[in-house]
Amino acid sequence: MANDPHNPPRPDVTALASGGAASTEPHADPRTDPQVGVVVIGRNEGERLMRCLDALARAGVVESHIVYVDSGSSDGSAEKVRARGVDAVALEPPFTAAKGRNAGIKHLVARHADLFAIQFVDGDCEYFPAWIDVASKALRDDPTVCAVTGVQHERRPEATVYNLLCDVEWTGVVGEIDSFAGNVMVRVRALFDTELGTGKLYDPELIAGEDPEFSIRIRKTTGLRVVRIDEPICLHDVDMTKLSQWWKRNVRAGHAYAQVSRMHGDAPLHFWKRETRSNWLWGAALPLAAAPLVPPAYVSLFWRIYRGARARGLDPHAARVYAFFTAVGKVPQALGQAKYWWNQLRGVKSRIIEYKTPGG
């Protein structure tokens, strides 16, 4: 495993993609922890979803402990999942990832009263064989931890600059963290302590940012910690090939920054306050109010981000790509924030912002 928590090594993704283990040996017991259930969510993920289920099978998760929650797919995803002996639940619109995760939680708990933990899985992800057992052991060994995530990698970072950006984005510090993303294992008792404290699990009204928001709430309610362990968790397959997809993804991120910082931006957390201010400054205020200053200001921003990326261990090419798109991304993120506030003023509920193409 990596010694540098800021720059974990990339696993052998080719080995995993072909059905073998990557940076970790497969466990001897073909059955994972029987008290762990898995919630998979997706929409038109196609072959990505099939790879996801294949990987869970290699990890030893039996079909009865998996539920797939479908958000209106038109590619026959639910039928294909049921043909494999896995339960599939169809959501009613409007669709959000939060609604999908909640539906999966309730489905599993109703069928398995003894569940200790639930692994949440995005349908475009392919899990490493040992993850379920390693994560459940981490939860059992430390009762102060409510949720465990790991080191996520993009499946084909070399295919497009947008894939590379996502691969960089998945890199995070190992240890205690403020929040988790979609691929995480959560202690069931913590889930329902949170429900008792707030009246809900994931917030179904959020069209993005539902995982970090829930992280904050679960920590507040239970007093427990969220950790990232130095273990590869999965390959993510964003398969982003167009500038328009990247733009929409950043609009979506800006919307999440605005909505979640409104909910949790006060002291002492100030969650996502810095990000929202940065987006307004670099994505809206500076371009609109001081146009002559924009080119040199953005050059300065680029170099500041570039130096930070190099300090984190990124190679020069990845650091340049990351710095350029992070700086330019302030604009669509500011638009996403504006979209959120405009909808709030009009009393209109925001709809999900889709940026991915149907999976193949």
Q: Tell whether the model's pLDDT for residue 87 goes beyond 80.
A: yes
Check pLDDT > 60 for residue 56.
yes
**pLDDT reported for residue 12:** 62
Asked whether residue 29 carries a pLDDT value surpassing 60, the answer given is no
- Give just the sign of the alpha carbon dihedral 226, 145, 214, 41: positive
| Residue 314 C-alpha from the chain's centroid | 21
* Region 248-271 average pLDDT: 91
Residue 1: predicted pLDDT: 36
Q: In the predicted model, what is the mean pLDDT of residues 103-126?
A: 94
DSSP 33-94: -TTEEEEEEESS-THHHHHHHHHHHHTT--GGGEEEEESS-SSSHHHHHHHTT-EEEEPPSS
- Express each pLDDT in 311-359 by its tens digit: 988 999 999 999 999 999 999 999 999 999 999 999 998 888 888 777 6
Per residue in 290-303, pLDDT (tens digit) is: 777 778 888 999 99
Class of domain 13-241: alpha beta
What is the residue extent of each domain of the chain? 13-241, 245-346
Convert the pLDDT of each residue in 228-245 to its tens digit: 999 999 999 999 999 999
Q: Which of 8-17, 183-192, 344-353 has the lowest mean pLDDT?
A: 8-17
Q: What number of CA atoms fall less than 13 Å from residue 318's CA on the CB side?
A: 20
- With 0-12 / 13-18 / 19 or more C-beta atoms within 10 angstroms meaning exposed / middle / buried, residue 139 is buried
pLDDT-derived band of residue 192, with 50, 70 and 90 as boundaries? confident
Comparing CA positions, the residue from 360, 359, 15, 13 lying closest to residue 170 is: 13
d(CA 237, CA 80): 19
Beta bridge partners of 232: 151
Q: SS3 for 350? A: coil
- The rounded mean pLDDT for the chain is 87
- Tell me if residue 229 falls in helix, strand or coil: strand
| Interatomic CA distance for residues 214 and 271, integer angstroms | 12
Lowest mean pLDDT among 6-20, 175-189, 198-212: 6-20
Helical H segments across the chain, by residue range: 13-17, 47-58, 77-83, 97-111, 131-141, 161-170, 188-198, 210-222, 243-264, 273-280, 286-289, 294-311, 316-328, 330-346
The pLDDT-based confidence of 28 (bands split at 50, 70, 90) is very low
Average pLDDT over residues 84-107: 93
Mean pLDDT of 47-70: 93
106 Cβ contact list (under 8 Å, min separation 6) = none
Cα distances (Å, whole numbers) of residue 297 to 285, 293, 304, 312: 12, 6, 11, 23
Mean pLDDT, rounded, for 102-109: 94
Residue 309 pLDDT class (50, 70, 90 cuts): very high
